[in-house]
A = this chain, B = another copy of it.
Amino acid sequence: MEAYLERRRNLIESENTHKLDYREQLAVHASDKYKTAVDIVNTARCDEWRDIWEAAEHTEIGAPFLNTKHIIAKTRLFELIQRMPKGGLLHAHTDASVPLCDVFEIAEEFGARIEIKSTHPLTQHNMQSGIAKVSFRPSKSETPSAIDAQVMLSDDYEAGSWCSYKDLVAHFNDDNLTDFIEKQLLITAKESYITHNTMGKIWSKFGSCFGVLAGLLAYEPVWEEYVKRIVLRCVEDGVGYLETRLLMITELFYDVDCNLRLTRRDSILIFLRGVEAAKKVLAEQGKLDQFYGINIIYCTLRFFDPEEIWTAMLTCIEIYKEFPTLIRGFDLVGHEEASAGYTLKDYLSVLLRFQSKQIEEFGEIRIPYVFHAGETLGDGSVVDDNLYDALLLGTKRIGHGYSLYKHPELMRICREKGVLVESCPISNEVLRLTGGIGNHPIACLINHGVPVSLSSDDPAIFQNPILSYDFYMLINHSTKTNLATLKVLARNSLEYSLLDEQEKSQVISKWERDWEKYLDWIVEERA
């Protein structure tokens, strides 16, 4: 019996040496404070398993996010996670980082006149069935709208005609209109788990969310304020650094007077003004040192023809030349599975050309690839195969990498070459890859020692405020995960960032200082 238990300990120990957090777990035992903090968090988790999850009749640990979010929000463990300095958010799309209803609020704040158009008349039937899809734009206050709001409610409405949003609102004396619009901006629990519970249906809904407010987001004062809020919300959620994936397909943006005349360069300048505005607020709040910076991964769409991609690449290089410390990488976004889309292999020629072009211009690759790849349930499908091309093309990290765990050789390469997987558990659950954290491959990757960090992808659309819930989901479900595991994920989000070595070490120092303060807070809270 004793001999058996000895063999058992050795086997578990030998298993643990593979784990991503193996060395960090040893560090826990070297520090009393660290150990105490780990214990406090573990105790909070155990208490919650007993008092909340096991006591609940209709839910359980690891149940779907949108069904459990309201329970999680009130827990002690979530409070502990919220305060955690989470390092960087490496995978989030700029235009879905802050709740989209904020965009209205901002537009109104700036006194913009907002116009709305719809694909169908806004009859009760079209609104209830969700068939009518609306979108918005700012417009000069002196220009009369094309049509009267009353017409939009009737079958006489001609699809696509613009109308004053304020006039339209006046025709509703209940919440029907705002509820209808809100539903177009996010994915609800019912959609994800019941009505749209296939990959095809949920992606069709997901894709439609972006267009609704794209026009308003392209409006100078909204854009500036929106970027400011991204930074503020991240800092509020313990995220100090961002590499935001900015999709630059719009050629022209609305200036403050609603003229469609601003260029991509202008948009970047407004983006930077937003960041400065955020820094000003943070300085006022005494929190400036919790913000380590924000950079951009320049994105275009994987539905474009190769020649359109090439044009986007040339624009990216031009913008990089002016903003070399802001533009840090290049990616293609959009549903990898969609039949209209291209695989990386389909784009091979242009993808290699972008690298040659950089070598020609700069003598080296300065805008590396940071590809989405393997966001699929497939096994050997062309989308799954994107993982091969992403790695062969020298991707710095893998966005999602959901199917990577089925690839022993690619896992080895990621480990050995230090290619991090930007894992997005809540995104993958809402978009129907998994039923919940319990069958998400992140635990497999962590246990196999593959570099991973946590990201939230499109927090606004998934009703997921920045990053705390992703951390919570993992630690609450996986017993092997403790505070030290989360620390490794947070540190990875800085170590595998696209910062240069000097910047990186500065940022990591800042985060380590914040981490120590965090441990102090945990330990003192209990005392």
Contacts and interface: CB of A to CB of B under 8 A. Distances in A.
A159 B408 CA distance: 57
Interface stretch (A123-131, A177-185, A432-440): A432-440
Interface of A: 1, 4, 7-8, 11-12, 14-15, 18, 54, 58-60, 62-63, 194, 198-200, 339, 345, 348-349, 352, 377-381, 384-385, 388-389, 391-392, 405-410, 432-436, 438-439, 441, 443-444, 447-449, 477-481
B15 A389 contact: no
Given A381-B479, A405-B444, A434-B439, 15 more contacts: A8-B392, A12-B385, A15-B388, A15-B407, A15-B410, A54-B339, A63-B198, A378-B438, A378-B478, A379-B477, A379-B480, A405-B405, A432-B435, A441-B444, A444-B444
Contacts of A4: 348, 352, 392
B1 A348 contact: yes
Given A377-B62, A381-B479, A11 B388 contact: yes
A15 B408 contact: yes
Contacts of A389: 8
Contacts of A339: 54
Given A1-B352, A348-B1, A435 B444 contact: no
A158 to B, nearest CB: 28
Contacts of A345: 8
Nearest to A13: B409
Contacts of A59: 198
A409 B198 contact: no
Nearest to A478: B379
Q: Which 10 residue pairs spanning A and B have beta carbons closest together?
A: A377-B438, A380-B480, A380-B479, A379-B478, A15-B409, A379-B443, A435-B435, A18-B408, A60-B198, A381-B479
Nearest to A62: B377
Contacts of A1: 348-349, 352
A389 B11 CA distance: 10
Nearest to A64: B197
Contacts of A435: 432, 434-435, 439
The winner among A380, A388, A391, A477 for most chain B CB atoms within 10 A is: A380
B439 A380 contact: no
Contacts of A11: 388, 391-392, 409
A18 to B, nearest CB: 4
B447 A408 contact: yes
12 contacts: A4-B392, A11-B392, A15-B408, A15-B409, A60-B199, A377-B436, A378-B438, A378-B479, A379-B443, A408-B447, A432-B435, A434-B439
Nearest to A435: B435
Nearest to A381: B479
Nearest to A442: B379
A175 to B, nearest CB: 28
The winner among A18, A59, A478 for most chain B CB atoms within 10 A is: A478
A59 B4 CA distance: 50
Contacts of A380: 478-481
A436 B198 CA distance: 11
B60 A200 contact: yes
Contacts of A481: 379-380
A38 to B, nearest CB: 14
Given A389-B8, A478-B379, A14 B409 contact: yes
A7 B392 contact: yes
A15 B198 CA distance: 30
A218 to B, nearest CB: 34
A18 B409 contact: yes
B58 A198 contact: yes
A14 B412 CA distance: 12
A438 B389 CA distance: 22
A379 B441 CA distance: 11
A406 B447 contact: yes
Contacts of A479: 378-381, 384
A8 B384 CA distance: 14
A203 to B, nearest CB: 11
A408 B448 CA distance: 6
